[in-house]
Structure formats: structure tokens, C-alpha cells
Amino acid sequence: MTTQSEGPRTRTNFNKNWKFFLGDEPTAKSTNFNDSKWRKLTLPHDWSIEGKFDEKTPAKPEGGGLPTGIGWYRKEFTAPANLQNRLITIEFDGVYKNSEVWVNGNCLGKRPYGYTSFFYEIGRFLKPGKNIIAVKVDNSAQPDSRWYSGSGIYRNVWLTSTAKVAVAKWGTFVTTENTGKVNVRTQIENKTLRPQIIAIVNSVYSADGKLVVKGQAQALKIDTSGTTVTGDLSINNPVLWSVQNPYQYKLVTEILQNNQIIDRYETKFGVRAFNFDAEKGFSLNGKPMKILGVCLHHDLGALGAAINVRAMERQLEMMKAMGVNAIRTAHNPPAPEFLDLCDKMGFLVMDEAFDMWAKKKTKNDYHLHFKAWHKRDLEDMILRDRNHPSIILWSIGNEIREQFDSTGVAITKELVGIVKNLDQTRPVLSALTETDAKKNFIYQANALDIYGLNYNHKLYKDFPKNYPGVKFLATETTSALATRGFYDTADTIRRWPKDGKTKFAEGNKEWSASAYDNVSAYWGSTHEETWKEAKKYDHVSGLFVWTGFDYLGEPLPYPWPARSSYFGIVDLAGFPKDAYYMYQSEWTTKPVLHILPHWNWEKGKAVEVWAYYSNADEVELYLNGKSLGKKSKQGEDLHVQWNVDFEPGTLKAVSRKNSKEVLVREVKTAGAAAKIELIADRKNIKADGTDLSFITVRILDKDGNIVPNADNMVDFKVAGAGFIAGVDNGFQASLEPFKAAYRKAFHGLCLAILQATEKAGTIKLTASSAGLSSSSITINTAK
Ligand code: GAL
């Protein structure tokens, strides 16, 4: 018999036409509930980001100072055709948190962990025609995550229909060797209630869609518990996946019955090999390279936790341009699309499961569910993610409290076992802080492949002496603090807060931290202090700087109204702070010249002028045409510096190599704010309902110089085929809403994020501000 009559699987985006209610409405699970008054929306959705900042919010400033609570989602949908012969699955990429799902009033289950992806088979509850799905999301128990989590169905939802004999979800595992040998393990389900005879065929396609190799059909009899089959294929002269050339192949798995294709399952993969060495560090495809990484939380600034592929891609583009080659998904599994982007754009990834185990960090965090759910959540992360060529490390946890007591030994062994059972091709580590290995019970478990150390950069040097033969990675570093465009010199580097007894730093009345790279948390170090150590030693396989971007929540070192982090190399709006260019000068091969600070000071003030540069022997600085001398980096220096008595005019830096000019940078004293300039990151975007154009708003004087301290209120009007998805200015203590048609500039800049509708056309954004001439920009959207 054939198990089904129509074609192979369909996977449909299930984001549209949801109804939403903020609050608890227990009867909404039943089919006949009337939701006509509820708000209609399209997922992904984060209700927290739509709320008002409030010091008293249960999530506290540490959680971003935005509302959490309970929310309900409902959707009426038409069941896929031929129900009785199909397996119908609903897939949630992420719901924050404690989701409960009902289909036609039938409870499918609960999922406490808000960062996990999960799915339910729903066919047996469906009827032909109209059906109702209801989802309760409960993020009311706070404090929870130590950063902003967002609330709601904040990642994509999918509806899949397959034959009753099909490849299981996350059912393939592709491993490769650089010789071109490809091993495929496939889990096949049989829900027909009787044994079936089928054949399975694997084919590999090149990135441009050409058939590379087709395996032999393998005939199988499968009983009702399903089966797992393995097979080998061989690619001649494979193109290797690397950071520079992130080449991916596509495996197509076909299941045939009676000469008909009843399932077709696609798996992207890359051919690459890597190694960690205790002395020589990391290598990819045999070539030594340092892992130059940043840690990223999952929020997308003004867009909150609601995932948007373009917003993630923009973050990664900025990281790539800075020279970053690796991302640590701190401290939880990311959206699947984030990993797809890393595969495609060439980033290495450390995929992290947890920020705590059974011992809590906050009252209502995942420790409450760890016992019941850790196995399932960890397994699901590995099963979901193990085909991504970008992933080179599994982290079972960040700064886990069980380091400090003997329960850590057994849990570490168990978690490592869970991972190794599903994937033996990648090392497992944990980001540790207890530096005395004898006292570190996670280390004592003797189960980890690599020693991952957070902070403590002074210990890098002697690591090989203290831990002979142990592989080493700086899993988290730095925690420097800065506010874009704010400069404050100090004779010594500041530690804010200064020690473990002080919660907040004295700080300043601007709620800012200097962008001269002279402030860090006491457990951390400045960007330069850290990188100088990490770059010195080959045995340091790499580092993950805390953090690439500012993120919502954890506003250390300030109390309210600070509500987002100061750690980012780039601010929350996506404007680089100055340290960005230090990394760029060190981590890329392109010529860099960047000078700081701005050039608007009181006459006579002694100002430190810094230059980051590369691909040059020296930099000469001029003030109003007069040379202030040439400087070049000595020894370990990462920048050069002049002390200049301020006078208004033009500060100009020229970098030279062998006396030939490489780059010139100028900064001019700005006059009064006079006009607005709008710059789009992309002027042509897709009319797909999700694509974005990020518009940088610059406040200029009449001559076109950016006004460095401008804080003008900017009003936006938008017309045509788009809307404002969010606004921001990167200031960590701004309490203006992110969903608004206005924003104050901060140090001369703010941002408006335009989102396309599904109608092709143009989006016109007009920005105006009292006393300034206004400006507009037009973005084209096309199908
Ligand atoms: C680390 C922690 C991060 C973040 C950071 C701030 O210890 O792993 O999640 O809290 O400190 O400096």
C-alpha cells in the first residue's frame, strides 16, 4: 500500500493572522472562545519591547525595565489536505517562556525553557476545515534571565505536513572528512501502524544546485518504531567551508515507496575540519587561526527579542567588518536563522545551552526547571544544531554555580554524556570562572575537552605551565564599559564598580562611561588590556569579547534609569563606539585610521587625541594645518596619542607607509545644529513584510559637520509601503519608547528602522526637528 497520495513534505510559515491578548484568559484555550476583540498581529512578536520603561517593573533594570507578564495567542487555520494520511507538526522556534499549547481545546504540552525550539505532532487533534490553536505564554515570574529576555512567541512558527513515513524532524546527521567522505545518519519515522517497505536515496548538490553525487538506493523494511540508517557518500575534491569561503553543500534525502517519492528532506552542510591544540591553539582546515570572537545576546535593540533576519544579518555584517570571525551565543541557543547566517557568512560559533543548572542565579530562572528539563532541552539543542558547519563548540553552561561545590562533578559528566551521545565531532566546554582547578568541580569532572576561562587575562601567560597539555580558550573577556560619543580622560583606568562590595559605580551625572577605552568592570579589563594578552600567546586558541553589541538589561555600572548594557563594542542602535576601530586595526588586513574624540571643547582644554591605525608606519596629526608631530606605535601599543590644547578648527590625521600617504581623517569643530541628514544602510529592500532599512539620522551644522553633542528631538513621518519598526539612539539610560515616531538624538545621532509591507512600492521617511531644516529619504521595495 502507499502511505499517502500527494507529494512530499510541505513546510509553511505559520506567522500570520494571530490574535493576541496581554493578560491571562484561561478560557481562551477552548475552541468556542470569542477573540474578536483581541489584537491581530503577525509573529514573531515580543510584547515587552512595546511596553513602557518602569523602574518598578518585576524584571527590574537588569531585565531591561520593561513589562513581562502573561499573554495569550490564538489563531484560526485551515487543516492541511488529506489529514488522515499525513503527519502534521507545529514547530515553535522559541517562545519566552513557559508556553502551553492547545489545538481545538486539546493540550499538546508545556515548554518552560524560553530559548529552546520545540514541536508537536497535531494531526490527531485536527479536523478538516477550520481549527483553532491557542498558546499561553507566562513570563510573569521575575526576576528571571539576567538580561532582557523579551516575552511572547518571539521566533518563527512553522506548520509541516509529511507522509506518515518520513524523515524525523532534525532527523539527519551529516558528518564529513576533508577528503570528501560524507557520512549520513537518517532517522525515519513510521506512523502508519504497520511495517513498511521503502527505499532511501541520498544526493549531494553543490551551492549552485548541481548534482555532485547520488548514493545507491537502500531498500528497507521498517516496523512501527521507525529506524535509523547510515550511509556514506564521497565528494571528489570537496570545496571546504571556511570563514573566508563559507561554502555549503546540500544533502537531499528522498524516501521512495512503490517508485514514488514520499518524502524529500534537505540538510545543508559544510566540509571542514578543525583542531584545538594545547600549545598551538586553533586551526581550521589545517591552517592556524585565532578565534576572534564576540559574545552576543539575542535581542535586536529597538526590535526587542522578536527575530528579524535582516536585523541579525546587519549585526553580523558589522561584526565581520570589524574582523570578528566567531560568535558565542550567550548564554542560550539562538534562533535557527542566526545559525544559518553564521554558516552563510562565515562565522565560527560556540553554541551555549545554559546560564545556570540546578543552582539559581535569580529567583525564577531556569534552575526551577533544570531537573525535569535539562536532558530534553540539551538534546534538542544538539539535534537541532549539529549540522551547522559554523558550530565548532558546545558549551554546557556559563559561569555555573556548581563549579563551587561537589554536585558539579556529576552534572558535568551527565551533560557532557548527553552531548557526546548525539555528537562526537565537536568539543564540549563550559565557561568557567573558578580559576583554581583543584577547587573547580566542573573541571574536576574531567569530562571537558577544553578549558574555557572567563576573564582573568593575567592567567593566560602561565596556563601551559599550570595546566600542561590542556587546551585553552578565553570563553569570555573584557567587560569594558563605554557610551558612544562620550569622552572623559582619566590618569588611571577605572573599574566600575570597583569591587565585589560595591554594586554601582560613582560614575557621572550623564549616566555614561568614557569611550576612551579606560573603564571596565572590576572583574574585567579594557579592550586593549585584554587583547594585548590574548594576542601574545599561541596557546590562547581565541577569545570571545563581552560583548559585540550593547544589549537590553544588565545596565552595570549604573542604577535606574540605566536599562541597557554599556559593554558593547557597538551601541544598541548599531553605531560603533571607538574601540570598534581598535579591533578593526588589529583583526582585519584593511587599512584603518580612526581618530577620537570629537572636536568641540572649551578653548584651552587639554584634550587627549587618540588614533587607531594599521597598514602604516606612522600617523601625523595637524591642528588647523600645523603639525603636532608624528607618532608610531611602540612595543605593545595599540594606539598613538597626542595631548592637544584645544582650539577650534580642523584636526587632521594622516597615516603613512614608507612616507606615502595611506589614509586621511578629519574632524572639525561643529557650529550650531542646522540640518538633518538621513542615510540608509540599504535603499532597495524586499517587499516581503519583514525586510528592513536602517536609517541613520545625523544632526549637522550648516557646513555639514556632525554636531557631537546634539540631542535634538527628531519627529518622523512615514508614508507608502512601510512603517517604523523601531527607533533608538544608543543611549543606555534613555526612557523613550522604542516603538514611536520620534527620538531624541544622542551625541548627534539617532536611528529609525523602516520595515517593508508586502506591497511593492516606496517608503518615504521625513525627519523634522524644531529649528532645523528637515530631510527626507525614499526607500524602494520590490517583490
Ligand atoms: C559575566 C557573565 C555575563 C555578564 C558579564 C558582565 O560574568 O558571564 O553574562 O554578566 O559578566 O560583565
- Per residue in 416-435, pLDDT tens? 999 999 999 999 999 999 99
Residue nearest atom 12 in ligand 1 by C-alpha distance: 479
**Which CATH number characterizes residue 604's domain?**
2.60.40.10
For residues 252-265, give the mean pLDDT: 96
Q: Answer yes or no: do 136 and 231 share one domain.
A: no
> Roughly how many angstroms between the first and final C-alpha of the chain, as a whole number?
43
Partner residues linked to 722 by β-bridges: 756
Quick: pLDDT tens for 662-692: 999 999 999 999 999 999 999 999 999 999 9
* Residues 115-174 pLDDT 10s: 999 999 999 999 999 999 999 999 999 999 999 999 999 999 999 999 999 999 999 999
Using the mean position of ligand 1's atoms as its centre, give its distance from the Cα of residue 611 in Å: 29
Per the annotation, the verdict on 399 as an active-site residue is yes
Question: Is 495 contained in some domain?
Answer: no
- 177 φ, ψ (degrees, to nearest 5): -125, 150
Containing structural domain, residue 746: 675-782
Q: Residue 3 has what pLDDT?
A: 38
Site of grid cell 567587560: 479
Better-predicted residue by pLDDT, 2 or 290:
290
User: For 548-578, how does the pLDDT look when each residue is reduced to its tens digit (9 = 90+)?
Assistant: 999 999 999 999 999 999 999 999 999 999 9
Q: Among this protein's residues, is 736 annotated catalytic?
A: no
| Ligand 1 atom nearest 554 alpha carbon | 10
Q: Which of 62, 254, 399, 533 is catalytic?
A: 399
Which atom in ligand 1 lies closest to the alpha carbon of residue 330?
9
Q: What separation in Å is there between the alpha carbon of 547 and the centre of ligand 1?
A: 9
d(CA 360, CA 739): 33
Q: What whole-number percentage of the chain has pLDDT above 90?
A: 97
- What would the pLDDT profile of 233-242 be if each residue is shown by its tens digit? 999 999 999 9
Which of 554, 556, 558, 564 has most ligand 1 atoms within 8 Å of its beta carbon, as the pocket-test mutant?
A: 554
Query: Would you list the DSSP string of 44-62?
Result: S--SGGGS---TT-TTTGG
Centre of ligand 1 from the C-alpha of residue 382, in Å: 24
Banded pLDDT at 289 (limits 50, 70, 90): very high
Cα 311 to ligand 1 centroid, rounded to whole Å: 24
| CATH code, 326 | 3.20.20.80
Question: Could you identify the residue written with the cell 538633518?
Answer: 676
Find the residues whose C-beta lies inside 6 A of ligand 1. 146, 398-399, 454, 476, 479, 521, 524, 546, 554
| Residue that finishes a domain, picked among 160, 194, 229 | 160
Kindly report, residue by residue over 320-338, the tens digit of the pLDDT. Answer: 999 999 999 999 999 999 9
**578629519: which residue's cell?**
666
pLDDT at 2 over 90: no
pLDDT of residue 30: 97
- Whether 235 maps to a domain, the answer reads yes
Same domain? For 466 and 336 the reply is yes
DSSP state, 549? B
> How many domains does the chain divide into?
5
- Atom number of ligand 1 nearest to Cα 398: 8
Residues 429 and 342 placed together within one structural domain of the fold: yes
Residues 248 and 319 in one domain: no
- 132 and 178, same domain (yes or no): no
Give the mean pLDDT of 287-295: 99
363-395 tens-digit pLDDT: 999 999 999 999 999 999 999 999 999 999 999
Select which of 254, 352, 434, 476 is catalytic.
Answer: 476
The arithmetic mean of pLDDT across residues 28-37, rounded, is: 98
Average pLDDT, the chain: 97
Flag whether 575 is in a domain: no
Confidence at residue 6, expressed as pLDDT on a 0 to 100 scale:
61
CA–CA separation, 415 and 411 (whole Å): 6
Out of 546, 552, 567, 732, give the residue to mutate to test ligand 1, the one with the largest number of ligand atoms within 8 Å of its CB: 546
In angstroms, the Cα distances linking 136 to 102, 308, 316, 372, 691 are 9, 22, 32, 20, 28
Residue nearest to atom 11 of ligand 1 (CA): 479
- The pLDDT-based confidence of 490 (bands split at 50, 70, 90) is confident
For residues 92 and 145, membership in a common domain is answered with yes
Predicted confidence at residue 4, as pLDDT, reads 41
For residue 118, give Cα distances in angstroms to 92, 233, 371, 385, 419. Answer: 5, 30, 18, 13, 18
The per-residue pLDDT for 416 is 98
Residues 324 and 471 in one domain: yes
pLDDT at 5 exceeding the cut of 80? no
Same domain, 17 and 142: yes
Percent of the chain with pLDDT over 70: 99
- Residues 664 and 680 grouped into a single domain: no
Q: Would the pLDDT of 260 be above 70? A: yes
How close is the Cα of 554 to the center of ligand 1, in Å? 9
Judge whether 715 lies within some domain: yes
Same domain, 234 and 361: no
CATH number, domain containing residue 27: 2.60.120.260
User: Would you say residue 447 lies in a domain?
Assistant: yes
Q: Give the residue from 395, 402, 393, 350 showing the smallest Cα distance to 371.
A: 402
574 domain-assigned: no
153 and 39 share one domain: yes
Question: Where a domain ends, among 668, 683, 714?
Answer: 668
- Residue 507 domain-assigned? no
Print burial letters for 568-603: b (CB count within 10 Å at least 16), e (below 16): bbbbbbbbbbbbbbbbbbbbbeeebbbbbbbbbbee
- On whether residue 287 sits in a domain, the answer given is no
Do 258 and 384 share a structural domain?
A: no
Closest residue (by CA) to atom 3 of ligand 1?
Answer: 546
pLDDT at 34 over 60: yes
User: Looking at residue 503, what is its pLDDT?
Assistant: 87
Residue 533 Cα to ligand 1 midpoint, Å, equals 20
* pLDDT at residue 353 in the model: 98
Of 629, 649, 668, which marks where a domain is finished?
A: 668
1 has pLDDT over 60: no
